[in-house]
Amino acid sequence: AQSVTQPDIHITVSEGASLELRCNYSYGATPYLFWYVQSPGQGLQLLLKYFSGDTLVQGIKGFEAEFKRSQSSFNLRKPSVHWSDAAEYFCAVGADSGYSTLTFGKGTMLLVSP
């Protein structure tokens, strides 16, 4: 069965600084990988996804992520963080099971300091 690890429970970044959120997955085949963002009291919004092809994927709100098969990682990055980016971020992996289910990590809470 697949699994996702987000090693950082909380991260604090200064506004304007760069950001990297870590995600490691466990899955035997080529995974479908996702990053979602959840603002307080809201549902989850899809930031970006990787299915195949170019290992660097661009998403909304200036985010990008890089798939590294050798490291089983799919880290999320942003060159300059804005205060509005403060939220919880979830990495998820999808299995090629035909049912399109997702396995989520436990999330990383991003705090942005002025």
Q: Which residues in this chain contact another protein in the complex, by CB under 8 A? A: 9, 32, 34, 36, 41-46, 49, 51, 90, 92, 94-95, 98-102, 104-107
Q: Which is nearer to another protein, 32 or 63 (CB)?
A: 32
- Provide CB contacts within 8 A for 13, sequence distance 6+: 19, 81, 110, 111, 112, 113
Pick the closer one to another protein by CB: 9 or 114.
Answer: 9
- Least separation in angstroms between residue 68's CB and another protein is 19
3-state DSSP call for residue 89?
A: strand
Shortest distance (Å) from residue 79 CB to another protein: 25
Decide if 41 contacts 31 (C-beta within 8 A): no
Name the β-bridge partners of 3: 26
Q: Which is nearer to another protein, 18 or 101 (CB)?
A: 101
Q: Distance between CA 19 and CA 79 in Å, rounded?
A: 6
In whole angstroms, the minimum distance from the beta carbon of 83 to another protein comes to: 23
* Residue placing its CB nearer to another protein in the complex, 52 or 70: 52
Distances (CA, A) of 7 to 23, 75, 83: 7, 11, 23
